Amino acid sequence: MLQWCQRRLGPSRCRTIRVVDRARPEYYGWWDWDRTIWINVRWIKSRTQLYRVLAHEWTHAQQRWRDYKKGIPLGEGNPLEIEARKRERSLEFWPAGIAPHKLRK
C-alpha cells in the first residue's frame, strides 16, 4: 500500500501504513504525525473505500503541522479537511477499473 501511495499520490511524511480492526465507527483511518497512517478495516467495505481512505489520509501526511496549529477547528469547514476530501474524490489516483461510478459531493 505504501508503494502504491508513493507512486500514485506523490511524496509524503508517511513511512508506515498499519491496519487495525477497531470498533470506532467515526474513524475509517487517521494520520498520527508519527509518520504512520492507520487504516481501520472494520468499517471499510470495498476496495473503492480503501483507496479513498488511503488517499484522504495520505493527503494529511502531505500537509504541514503548522497549518494544523493555526487554530482552525477540525471538521467539514477546515481547509485541510477540504483538501483531503477533494483528493479522495478525485479520479486522478484511482487504479484502472476501480474508479467509482458516482461520488457524493
Residue 94 has pLDDT above 70, yes or no: no
8 A C-beta contact, residue 13 and residue 32:
no
pLDDT for residue 101? 47
Which tops the pLDDT comparison, 98 or 8? 8
Q: What angle do CA 97, 18, 61 make, to 5 degrees?
A: 80
pTM of the model: 0.80
**Exposed, middle or buried: residue 28 (CB in 10 Å: 0-12, 13-18, 19+)?**
buried
pLDDT for residue 65? 79
Domain boundaries in the chain? Answer: 2-89
Beta strand 36-40 with 16-20 is parallel
Backbone phi and psi for residue 78, each to the nearest 5 degrees, phi listed first: -70, 130
8 A C-beta contact, residue 83 and residue 59:
yes
**Per-residue pLDDT tens over the stretch 25-51:** 678 999 998 999 999 999 899 888 898
Residue 92 has pLDDT above 70, yes or no: no
Helix (H/G/I), strand (E/B), else coil: 5 = helix
Q: Which residue type is seen at 104?
A: R
Confidence of residue 71 (pLDDT cuts 50, 70, 90): low
Average model confidence (pLDDT) across the chain: 82
- What 8-state DSSP symbol labels residue 43? G
pLDDT for residue 104? 41
